[in-house]
Structure 1
Amino acid sequence: MSKKKKIDSVNVKGFSKPANIIFTILMALVALTCVFPFIFVIIISFTSEQSITMNGYRLIPSEWSLDGYRYLIEMKGQILQALFISVFVTVVGTIVNVVFTSTYAYAISRNSFPYRRFFTMLALASMLFSAGMVPSYIVMTNMLGLKDSIWALILPMALSPFNIIVMRTFYRRSVPDAIIEAAKIDGASELRTFLQIVLPLSVPGIATISLFAALAYWNDWFNALLYIQSDNLVPLQYLLMKIQGSIDFMMQNTALGAQVTGGVNIPKEATRMAMVVISTVPIAATYPFFQKYFVGGLTIGGVKE
């Protein structure tokens, strides 16, 4: 009887119940430290500027306000246009990046590809060394003629060396050579083998690099700074930076700020936090859809029972 109780007190992974409770509490605290900053930013975005000036940042502000969001709503036309550009660039760019990355990684993961070592070293070299900003700018503007074009926001990040290495490792561990050889014996071409056999087995890896690519495209503002001049092609991140720069400039020049705003104080801090919320919520809302496959992609190579 005592032996049975001893077995019941230990779970499958070998931890006792008290240890499980302690680890659960610790993980909950770690998760809270990750989520709390964003919750705090949301609270500040709903705080009045006067309360922030007098009391600083507080978890429970003395006065709630929507002034930060009202200030941004006044520019809703520009923000909605910039949001559309960001969504379009993120979706199309992620698709382009995943297609190029997955096919490149699949080629260098196969032992039958004679130039796999050369292209692997090429990907590693491009990850370690860069030609610099000036050559990239010349290529994009003079050679490709993509200045002030939507493709100038997509093509510079269309191929990710880090994602290539991730997918190469995923293919080698998750797609057995025997399956591919069986498909070739049955008469399947390389393209058909890749589309009908390899890709269904690689959904966790594809989801992982898709999340990485989507985050990179969504947060990118530097390419817009370099290549975009038209207001209707500005992405959301760059527009919010321009708004923040305009607010800082007007606050430093009190007379100009009063003239532009009609004497109304600009909610600087609340607007700044509201911009963080607006730029973070859309991409954060997509994460739960990738989480299942993302965890599978990170734990690839684990021992199966």
Structure 2
Amino acid sequence: MKETFTDRLVGGIIYAILTVILLIILYPLVFVVSASISDPLSVTKGEMWLFPKNLSFIGYELIFANKEIWIGYKNTIIYTVVGTSVNLIMTIMAAYPLSRKDFAGRNVITGYIVFTMFFSGGLIPTYLLVKNLGMINSMWALIIPGAVSVWNIIIMRTFFQTSIPNEIQESAAIDGCSNLQTLWKIVLPLSMPVIAVMILFYSVGHWNAYFNALIYLNDRDKYPLQLFLREILIKSEVDNMAGGMDLSVQKHLMEAEAIKYAIVIVANLPVLAVYPFLQKYFTKGFLVGAIKG
């Protein structure tokens, strides 16, 4: 069908709006990357507004000179891998039965689960529970209390209901498959989009988490990366406010400026590196799991 002048005009306007939105989104990202490898003085004076100026890696040098950063990286990777695995298993095991029409009482159980989205015990009861379970100062204090997300259960359950035909599961049952075999051999291979979404949601949450670690962990050897980065940033800010405007303090100011931008890159680079490989699954799984039903 031949496009009319109005169609071309509307299309041009849409592309122009999308281009503006893209620039608005990209500019802060490019600015942070450029600022992290630019001379802090140029950044402070506003001379660097997009591309790097007077290359300097002082921010990264100061961060990675701290050996605890590598301990934090190791711990965060462990917490993210183990935590995401537990989250994924728990979410699948909860969502699949709730998606089955032959599961008696599934609506009542779903109601109980959804109830916890709006009402919780609060910080103090949760802390006392974790303490009584003997999980203080252990990895499990960061994983077990958040082992499953109700919202993600709903997304995955909706995906199972709308994207996995009942006829396939019935055929598997006729062929002699148990419920677990049907889940493992039929449902999960067809659910890679929503599984990728769950992996992305949970892994990003674990990677960026610091509050639970701040409350439950005592040994620095168990701290995640985010706590060490937080300490570096706070220490830099405190040092900057501690003295007058002599040369040493000015140097601290410049170092703090470099550290702020470098921390953003160090903390988010692994997630940004993984996201492109999951993006196609993320878009499909999120839309199918959240809109239908």
**Which ranges of structure 1 fall in alignment gaps of 5 or more residues?**
1-6
String of CA shifts for 1:181-226, please: whole Å, max 9, x gaps.
Answer: 1111111101000000111111111111211111111111001101
Partner of 1:147: 136
**Which of these residues, 245, 270, 283, is aligned with residue 295 of structure 1?**
283
Calculate percent identity across the aligned residue pairs. Answer: 36
RMSD: 2.6
CA contact (8 A) 1:51 1:61 kept: no
TM-score, reference length from structure 1: 0.86
1:51 aligns with 2:42: yes
Alignment-mate amino acid for residue 129 of structure 1: F
String of CA shifts for 1:30-81, please: whole Å, max 9, x gaps.
Answer: 2332222111111221232323343476335664322211211221x21111
CA 1:301–1:213: 2 relative to 1, 3 Å: closer
Distance 1:214 1:18 in 2: 43
TM-score, reference length from structure 2: 0.90
Aligned residues: 288
Distance 2:125 2:61 in 1: 42
Counterparts of residues 1-305 of structure 1 (less than 5 Å):
7-9=1-3, 16-55=7-46, 58-60=49-51, 63-75=54-66, 77-142=67-132, 144-254=133-243, 265=252, 267-300=255-288
String of CA shifts for 1:8-39, please: whole Å, max 9, x gaps.
Answer: 448xxxx9455444433432332332222111
CA contact (8 A) 2:31 2:51 kept: no
Distance 1:59 1:263 in 2: 24
CA contact (8 A) 1:215 1:283 kept: yes
Distance 2:257 2:104 in 1: 58
Alignment-mate amino acid for residue 135 of structure 1: P
Distance 1:88 1:114 in 2: 38
Distance 2:168 2:152 in 1: 24
Distance 2:213 2:56 in 1: 32
CA contact (8 A) 1:123 1:164 kept: no
